[in-house]
A and B are shown apart, each in its own frame.
Chain A
C-alpha cells in the first residue's frame, strides 16, 4: 500500500512519530530497545535525535523538542517524499505595538538571543526590564507564543502586559481555564500537565523565572514541545540541586548575563537594610521555653541509648512514638511563635508611623501572620489563594496610592510588578538567597532619587536571627548599609 510507504512525521502526546521509514526489531522490554533491522534502509536511529522504535504503534518515536533538527535531517534524506504533519505554528500579526524604547542592556540581551538562533537564556536582575526584552522578542518573531510563569498572578500579569504592549488578548491555560490561542499564557504546573496536548502549536516558548523549569517533572514542559525558538528569563538561575545545568539543553545556553552590581545605582535605587530585633512577650516566651525544654528533654533521653540521635531520627520516629510526635509539634509551635510574635505588630506600627505617606510592602512568613497583620491594621493582603479580581483591585489601589500598605505572604517573592514601593518590611520567611534577592528587587525599583529601606524584623535569641544572617550573606546585600535599631 502506498500509504505505508510514504514517510510521515506527526505529533503525538508530546512526542514525534515517524512512519514509513522502515521497521525496528521487536525487543523484549527492559533490554536495549530499538536496534534496527539491517535489511531495511535508511534507518531513523542512524539519523540521531534519539529515535526509538515503538512496537506499540509500529513506528519510530522521538522527543518533540528535537523537532527543528529532525525536520532538517529528514528533509535532507527523503526530500519532498517526507510528509510533515506536525502543525506549523501560526504567524501572529500584532494588532497594536506599544513597546517602550529599549535601554542599551536590553538591546544587547535581545541581540545576543537573536544571534544565538533565537534560543537561550537571558539573566538580568529584577527590575531591569526582563519582561520588556521578552515582549520585544515576541514582537520580532511574530509567531504563536506560549509564555510560562511560575504562579497564577504572574500569568495574569503577563496577560495584561501582552495586551498593553502588543494589543493581543492572549489565551489562558491554568486557574481552571483552558483557552488556547496563538498567544497563550500559562503556569509551570499547567504547562507540565497539558503540554502533551498543546506542544505542537507554538513556535516560541518563553519561560519566565526559568529556574523553575529544570525540576524533574516541570522540565517536561520544554521537552514535550516542538517549538524551535526558546527564551528563558531569570535573575537567579542557580538551583541548590544543581539542575540549572540542564537549562542549556532545554532552552539553549546563557546568551546574556547582566551582573547585579552593574544594575545597582544605575537602573535601581540605592537601598538601606535595617534590622530590628524584637523580643517575645512573657506568655510567648513561657510557651517557647516550655517547647524548647520538651525537645531538649526528649533528645537527651534518646541520646542516652543512641548517641548520634538527630532531628531527622526524631521525624522518622514521630509516626510510631507519641513522645516524638509531641516533640515535633513543640518544634512547629516554636516556629509559629517566632513567626507570629505580638511584638512584631507593635514594631510594624512604629514603621508605619515613621514612613507615613510612603508606599510600604510587608512580607509575612505565613498566611496566618499576613492575616494577623491585615486584621490588626485593616490592610489588604495578597495571598496564594487571592482571586484575580481582588488581586487586581489591591494592586491597582496600591499603585495609585489609594491603599497605603500591601501585605503579602511569599507569593510576591517573584516578579510581580509592584510599582514604586520605597519601604519593605520582612517580618518572617525562609533564609534562601533567591528569596532575599527577589524581595530586594521589589524595593529597589527606581523612581526618583528616594533611598529605599528594607526592614527586617526578627525575634531575638531565636532561630530567626540565624535566618536573617543567612539572608544577608546574599550578594544582593553587598555594599548596603546595615543598621541595628
Chain B
C-alpha cells in the first residue's frame, strides 16, 4: 500500500480525480513499467537508493510525470521486493564497537600535530587490523541497516507491466481514501461479500433498500455520527480491494481536501479497476443455482425470489439466499449453510435470535453435521443436493405453525 505522501489526486469543483494510468491515456507507460521492472530484476545486490535513482532516470524526458508518481512506483516495487534488512542488528553492534574503539583516539584530524596525532586513515587502518579485515569492508557494513543503503535480495518474478500498472491504479485509489470520511455504495449484486469485507475492515454499516435487489450501504465508524473524521479512511482503503472484486456496485466517498473542504470520489465496477483478491463468490453457488432451477418461479402457492431482501437489525445483517412468499402473504426466508460446526451453529442461532420476528429456514448438508448433533427446528438437512420436497414440507410447517407477531 502507498502512504498519503504518495497520493496524487486533484480536486476539481468538488470532485476528486485520482491518478489513473490507462492504456488509452498512458499507453506508453507500459514500456516504462517494463523498464522499471527490469531495473529491479537486474538489480539484485544493488542498494535501494541506486534502484530508486535508476527508476527516476526512466522518466527523465517524460513530460507527464509528477515526482510523486515516481516515488509511488518505487514504493510499490519495494513492496514486491526483499531487501537485506539486517534484522539481527549486526550493523548496530559493529557501530557501537567501532566507535568505542575510536573514542580513545578522538578527534581524528586531517593535519596531525603534536597535540592531536590521530589522522583518520591511520585510525581506520588500526581498527581494521584489529578485526583482521580491510577498512572498506567495515565501512560498507557500518550503515548497512539504513533503508537507502540496504541491498536488494529478491524481486517478485510473476509481476508483468500490465499487472504492475493496474496495481498502481488501485493503490492510488486506496491512498486517496485515507482522506475519506464516509463511503456510500449502491449495490445490486454481491451484497453478502461487500458486507462481510466491510465487517472485516471494522466498519459500521447502514443499509437502505432502494428497490428490488437494490441497496444503499453507508460505511463509516463509531465516531462518524459525532463529527467529521478521517479516522476510518484507512479502514475504507483496506476494504476497497474487496469491493473492486465484486460486481454490480457504485461507490461514492466523501473526502476531506487539504483545504478543509469536502470533495466526492465516485467509482463503479465498470471503471476497469481490477482487484488482486481471488473471486469472492461462495463455492456453493452452484448448489443454489441447481435448487432455483428445480423449484421454478412458483410451486404449490409459493413464489420464489432469489436474494430478494436483506434483513437487518442494527449492525447485524442477514442475507437469505431465497425468499418464499405464499399466496396468503406468509413470507419465509431460506439460507443454505455450506458448513456447520457447533461454534458456527451457536453464532448462527444468536444471529437468528435477533431476527426472531422473521421466519427463517436453514438448509444444512448432512456431511457438515457432527455425529449425534440434533438439528433444531426450521433446519432442513440434505445429502448432496437440496431437493424440493423437504423444503416445501418445512415451508408448510412454518406457514401452518404458531403465528409469530408481525414485525
| Chain A residues at the B interface, C-beta cutoff of 8 Å | 12-15, 29, 33, 50, 52-58, 61-63, 196, 216-217, 220, 223-224, 318-322, 325, 328, 346, 349, 352-353, 356, 367, 371, 374-381, 383, 385-387, 389-390, 393-394, 397, 402-405
Contacts and interface: CB of A to CB of B under 8 A. Distances in A.
Nearest to B205: A56
A225 to B, nearest CB: 12
A349 B109 contact: yes
A44 B123 CA distance: 75
Given A58-B314, A61-B226, A356-B107, A403 B99 contact: yes
Contact of B225 (A61, A224, A377): A61
Interface in B91-130: 92, 95-96, 98-100, 102-103, 106-110, 115-116, 120, 123-124, 127
5 contacts: A14-B223, A57-B204, A63-B223, A349-B107, A389-B89
A54 B66 contact: no
B109 A353 contact: yes
A380 B223 contact: no
Contact of A56 (B127, B231, B315): B315
A376 B120 contact: yes
A446 B191 CA distance: 67
B206 A61 contact: no
A88 B108 CA distance: 59
A320 B139 CA distance: 40
B92 A389 contact: yes
Contacts of B106: 352, 377-379, 404-405
A395 B229 CA distance: 40
Contacts of A381: 95
B396 interface: no
B48 interface: no
Given A55-B206, A389-B92, A318 B67 contact: yes
A377 B147 contact: no
B225 A52 contact: yes
List the 3 shortest-distance A-B pairs measured between CB atoms, nearest first: A319-B66, A378-B102, A13-B222
Contacts of B69: 319
A31 B100 CA distance: 67
B206 A56 contact: yes
A402 B230 contact: no
Contact of B108 (A12, A216, A376, A390): A376
B139 A318 contact: no
B143 interface: yes
Given A13-B221, A29-B218, A390 B109 contact: no
B107 A367 contact: no
Given A15-B223, A33-B225, A378-B123, A390 B64 contact: no
B258 to A, nearest CB: 10
A406 to B, nearest CB: 10
B61 interface: yes
B120 A353 contact: no
Contacts of A387: 89, 92
A320 B66 CA distance: 7
B222 A353 contact: no
Contacts of A352: 106-107, 109
- Tell me which of A13, A367, A387 has the highest count of chain B C-beta atoms within 10 A of its own C-beta: A13
Nearest to A367: B146
Interface residues on B, range: 35 or more
Given A385-B147, A397-B100, 8 more contacts: A15-B226, A63-B227, A321-B63, A352-B109, A374-B143, A377-B106, A381-B95, A387-B89
Given A390-B92, A404-B106, A322 B225 contact: no
B65 interface: yes
Contacts of B62: 322
Contacts of A376: 108, 120
B98 A322 contact: no
Given A14-B223, A318-B67, A322-B61, A349 B110 contact: yes
B107 A371 contact: no
Nearest to B124: A378
Nearest to B91: A390
B369 interface: no
Given A56-B314, A322-B61, A349-B110, A402 B100 contact: yes
Contacts of B146: 367, 371, 383, 385
Contacts of B222: 12-15, 61, 196
B311 interface: no
Interface in B243-261: none
B360 to A, nearest CB: 21
A12 to B, nearest CB: 5
Interface of B: 60-69, 89, 92, 95-96, 98-100, 102-103, 106-110, 115-116, 120, 123-124, 127, 139, 142-143, 145-147, 204-206, 218, 221-223, 225-227, 229-231, 314-315
Contacts of B68: 319
Contacts of B223: 13-15, 63, 196, 220, 223-224
A320 B147 contact: no
A39 B99 CA distance: 77
A411 B63 CA distance: 37
A319 B226 contact: no
B63 A322 contact: yes
A250 to B, nearest CB: 13
Contacts of A328: 67
A239 B86 CA distance: 39
B95 A390 contact: yes
Contacts of B61: 322
Nearest to A58: B314
B92 A404 contact: no
B64 A380 contact: no
A54 B225 contact: yes
B66 A318 contact: yes
B229 to A, nearest CB: 7
B103 A56 contact: no
B130 to A, nearest CB: 13
A381 B62 CA distance: 39
B226 A50 contact: yes
Contacts of A318: 66-67
A390 B96 contact: yes
A375 to B, nearest CB: 7
B212 to A, nearest CB: 22
Contact of B67 (A55, A319, A356): A319
A381 B145 CA distance: 13
- Tell me which of A63, A319, A328 has the highest count of chain B C-beta atoms within 10 A of its own C-beta: A319
Given A57-B314, A380-B96, A325 B226 contact: no
B204 to A, nearest CB: 5
A378 B60 contact: no
B164 to A, nearest CB: 20
A50 B225 CA distance: 11
Contact of A375 (B103, B116, B142): B142
Given A52-B226, A61-B222, A393 B96 contact: yes
B216 to A, nearest CB: 10
A63 B63 contact: no
- Tell me which of B67, B221, B226 has the highest count of chain A C-beta atoms within 10 A of its own C-beta: B226
A53 B226 CA distance: 9
A385 B89 CA distance: 12
B95 A380 contact: yes
A134 to B, nearest CB: 27
Nearest to B145: A385
Contacts of A63: 223, 226-227
A402 B99 CA distance: 10
Contacts of A349: 107-110
Contacts of B143: 371, 374-375
A393 B108 CA distance: 22
Given A402-B103, A405-B106, A57 B95 contact: no
Contacts of A378: 98-99, 102, 106, 108, 120, 123-124, 127
Contacts of A12: 222
A139 B221 CA distance: 36
